[in-house]
Amino acid sequence: MSDHKNTNTMRGGNFGFMFFYFTLRIVGLKHARRIAAIVCVYYLLFDWAAVKSAMPYVRHVMSNAGFFKRMAFIYRIFVNQAWMLLDRAAFNAGLISFKHTSTGYDTFAELAERQPVGVILLGAHFGNWQLAVEGLKKLDCRVNIVMSPETNPAVKKHLKINSAAGNVAYIFTDGPDHGCVEIASALCAGEVVCLMGDRAYGADTVEVEFLGESACFPYSAWIIAAKTESAVIPFFVCKHRERGYHVWCDDPIYPKLKRKQATAETVQPWVRQYVRSFEKVIREHPEQCFIFSDVWKR
């Protein structure tokens, strides 16, 4: 897990990345995962900020569990996130390749390459979406990744974040319009835009039921899609075996605005469809959800 504020500690710092980089080189991915699992025990016991950030999600997926079962589940979440970071590091270093299976990807690829307007891939902090970028590089169109600029030099260097390559470019959300103009321009040009739909980061939200309770989800992507007449596809990447990932694209959603001015009631059905897709993959792989945010808090 990366810490955006501290580059001198094991978590998100140069030492931590270099340690695991050489561990991968020397002992391989399998043993590096074992070491990471041991390190995660430390974070479970002493990094209460991380534990606290994971607890709202865990309370909702394990509503009837006691304290120790919830802590054990948080440990599994920490381990899964660490292993996926290792998978990405090993892949970037050319040490390993992964087998990908997919559901609905061909439908998405056909839409992305043939229709005159673009497609929004709406993902979440779930699974290992970064590895899917490698598959998107094979598309015969430009792919834009929407994200906040990575301020941690260690993360940028070792995980190759914020680095454009080939047909992949980045749209950053630190501007006054949070990248909305660039997103709309990309869609109008027939390009693919990938962004997260599970965290608001200060953007406007709408309430829908999520894991049994009303939660807040951002909806600006839906407004942009409606105004540019673009399709939105819920998109998730699940790890399902040691060297395999499953790319899951749900059916395309075509938001339409009946009025020029959208309201929360207008976007709510579209957000609800996305959340239902999100819940499907959570039910299958609950330990691969890395929200680390209380989306249920108003």
* pTM attached to this predicted model: 0.87
pLDDT range class, residue 54, cuts 50, 70, 90: very high
Residue pLDDT, tens place only, 132-188 = 777 788 888 899 999 876 544 545 554 555 555 678 888 888 777 778 899 999 999
Which tops the pLDDT comparison, 140 or 8?
A: 140
Q: What's residue 156's pLDDT?
A: 53
Residue pLDDT, tens place only, 12-24 = 556 566 777 788 8
**Could you give the percent of the chain with pLDDT greater than 90?**
54
Residue pLDDT, tens place only, 269-291 = 999 999 999 999 999 999 999 99
Residue pLDDT, tens place only, 223-238 = 999 999 999 999 999 9
Position 255 pLDDT exceeds 50: yes
Mean pLDDT, residues 62-79 taken together:
96
Position 88 pLDDT exceeds 50: yes
pLDDT range class, residue 252, cuts 50, 70, 90: very high
Mean pLDDT, residues 25-30 taken together:
89
DSSP labels for the chain? ---SS-SSSTTTSHHHHHHHHHHHHHHHHHHHHHHHHHHHHHHHHH-HHHHHHHHHHHHHHSTT--HHHHHHHHHHHHHHHHHHHHHHHHHHTTS---EEEEESHHHHHHHHHHSSS-EEEEE-SBB-HHHHHHHHTTSSS-EEEEEPPP--HHHHHHH-TT--BTTEEEEES-STTTTHHHHHHHHHTT-EEEEESS--TTS-EEEEEETTEEEEEE-HHHHHHHHHT-EEEEEEEEEEETTEEEEEE---B----SSSS--HHHHHHHHHHHHHHHHHHHHH-GGGB---S-TT--
**Could you give the percent of the chain with pLDDT greater than 70?**
87
Position 53 pLDDT exceeds 50: yes
Which tops the pLDDT comparison, 254 or 11?
A: 254
Q: What's residue 149's pLDDT?
A: 63
